[in-house]
Amino acid sequence: MTAPSLHFLSCTVPEPHRMAYWQWGDPAAAHTVLCVHGLTRQGRDFDVLAQTLVARAGGNVRVVCPDVVGRGKSDWLTDPMGYQIPHYAADMLALLAHLRPQTLDWVGTSMGGLIGMVACNLAPTVGATVRRLVLNDVGPTIEWSALQRIGQYLGKSGHFASEQQAADAMWAISSSFGPHTPAQWLALSKPMLKRVSSAVQEALQEAVYALHYDPAIALPFGLATPESAAQGEAALWQAYDAITAPTLLLRGADSDLLSPATALQMTQRGPKARLVEFAGVGHAPTLIAPDQTEAVASFLLAPSA
């Protein structure tokens, strides 16, 4: 299977909108892996991991990769204050109620991991239980300096004359993702783009592409303060400590968002995550390199104890 199918789900929180999701593998498979992306990313980030899981499982798995609202093919909200974790979690619960998985695993990169920590505790309310959880370079404590770094580029999407120009611009702010071949980076970058309207092309002349996400996601992000971050951290530790699913924690060894101290704490409390670090990678591993996909696939596809 070389390409996923695209589907849409109507959601109601915090306002009516459509959420897009990409589906790989067998729609009737009992085993569903839900992969949720990071702050400015989208569901096609998981193409390589999804294909790896489908191949390793002999096709007997369904991998679902949503575009969180405001990103990818999903609708944009009229009120940007809706771009917050509790609302994202509500969308994922609606998706789980729609999918009705028999066996559910969760892979969350950065923001997708934060959503996962919340959703793990709420999934039973829609008849689902997270069996295994993968947190990719994120924990309850997020380094304030990393949030400030992200805030410097968030919402400043720009316009580009070509896919390659856009890929080069994204690499300038994403080199912490670690080594990628030019072909790998271009493939990862293409779904991050959308064609601009003819009116925009005419006004900006050579502009053909813009980034896929709503620049307004930067508004609630920019309102964060050290004090509000500390309050959110306490709530996330409470959610993490309540998780009972076996948990795999991935960390870029050079990550500025997930500190070694937080990662160590996560191995000692709550689900006592198993930690795997990747040298030469910061925030966040893209789950494209063979050692990264192998770590996730072997964890999710191992027989249950």
Report the CATH number of the 5-152+217-301 domain. 3.40.50.1820
Q: Where are the domains of the chain?
A: 5-152+217-301, 158-212
Q: Are 287 and 48 in contact (CB under 8 A)?
A: yes
Nearest-CA neighbor of 197 among 189, 207, 188?
Answer: 207
pLDDT value of residue 205: 62
Q: Which two tokens stand for residue 304?
A: 């249950």
What gap in Å lies between CA 198 and CA 64, rounded to an integer? Answer: 33
pLDDT value of residue 134: 98
pLDDT value of residue 208: 85
**SS3 of 163-191:** HHHHHHHHHHHHHHHCCCCHHHHHHHHHH
Element (H, E) at 238: helix 226-241
Place of tokens 């993490």: 240
What gap in Å lies between CA 138 and CA 92, rounded to an integer? Answer: 18
pLDDT value of residue 305: 66
Q: Which two tokens stand for residue 32?
A: 């569903």
- Give residue-wise pLDDT tens across range 251-267: 999 999 999 999 999 99
- Give residue-wise pLDDT tens across range 128-138: 999 999 999 99
Give φ, ψ of 66 to 5 degrees: -75, 155
Q: Are 17 and 94 in contact (CB under 8 A)?
A: no
Show pLDDT as tens, one digit a residue, over the chain (305 residues): 579 999 999 999 999 999 999 999 999 999 999 999 999 999 999 999 999 999 999 999 999 999 999 999 999 999 999 999 999 999 999 999 999 999 999 999 999 999 999 999 999 999 999 999 999 999 999 999 999 999 989 988 778 999 999 999 999 989 999 999 999 999 999 999 998 876 555 556 667 899 999 999 999 999 999 899 999 999 999 999 999 999 999 999 999 999 999 999 999 999 999 999 999 999 999 999 999 999 999 999 998 76
Q: At 206, which amino acid appears? A: E
Nearest-CA neighbor of 154 among 64, 218, 83?
Answer: 218
Give φ, ψ of 301 to 5 degrees: -100, 0
What gap in Å lies between CA 212 and CA 73, rounded to an integer? Answer: 8
Half-sphere exposure of 262 (CA within 13 A, CB side): 23
